[in-house]
Amino acid sequence: EAGVAQSPRYKIIEKRQSVAFWCNPISGHATLYWYQQILGQGPKLLIQFQNNGVVDDSQLPKDRFSAERLKGVDSTLKIQPAKLEDSAVYLCASSSPGEGQETQYFGPGTRLLVL
Amino acid sequence: AQSVSQHNHHVILSEAASLELGCNYSYGGTVNLFWYVQYPGQHLQLLLKYFSGDPLVKGIKGFEAEFIKSKFSFNLRKPSVQWSDTAEYFCAVKGGGYNKLIFGAGTRLAVHP
């Protein structure tokens, strides 16, 4: 079974530029998550999709971050404009709903450096 | 607010030593508990999980964890570590009225041969 795919793996940009990350979840997984992992911290949920609908985006900085999952499969996360504090690893995960007992499977992440 | 605490940020052990990594969470009620591991250069992988039943959970590679509800704890153990266990270990909790996975800050384990 193929895992969660993410691209690019690394990205370096200057502050105020924009950047986009792509995620392809495990086939058949209806739930998709984007996490931000700052160095020295655990992953923090940014947004959760159930199919193509948003379940939780309470921790997404909506003034600069946006995410979409138009066809209920792939997803993109965008930052515009980027700030220095956005430097982090952006993780995508997916799961198959099971009455709240689902396990999340993570992709390799995109390491973003904002200069 | 919900929080997950991992007591040790860095642990250094020699091969064959025993390992115990602490994890405590802040909220009661029904919880799902997880330990994830991230080996150098690899992505987060599930090590073990607890949903219900026997509070002593066995995972991959000889790891186990014990859920102690009265202590809000889910400590990870391994009786004899190997050099290949060098990795970062994350405890994560879901529940307590919140439908999202909350991670601890992680513990970096270095095992010397």
For A100, the closest of B45, B99, B104 (CB atoms) is B99
Six token digits for residue A64: 């600069």
Record: contact A45-B100, CB cut-off 8 A = yes
Record: contact B46-A48, CB cut-off 8 A = no
Interface probe for B, chosen from A31, A106, A110 (most Cβ of B below 10 Å), is: A106
pLDDT of residue A97: 72
**CB < 8 Å to B4, chain A:** 42
Six token digits for residue A92: 């995508």
pLDDT of residue B21: 97
d(CA A109, CA A46): 14
State pLDDT tens for residues B44-78: 999 999 999 999 999 999 999 999 999 999 999 99
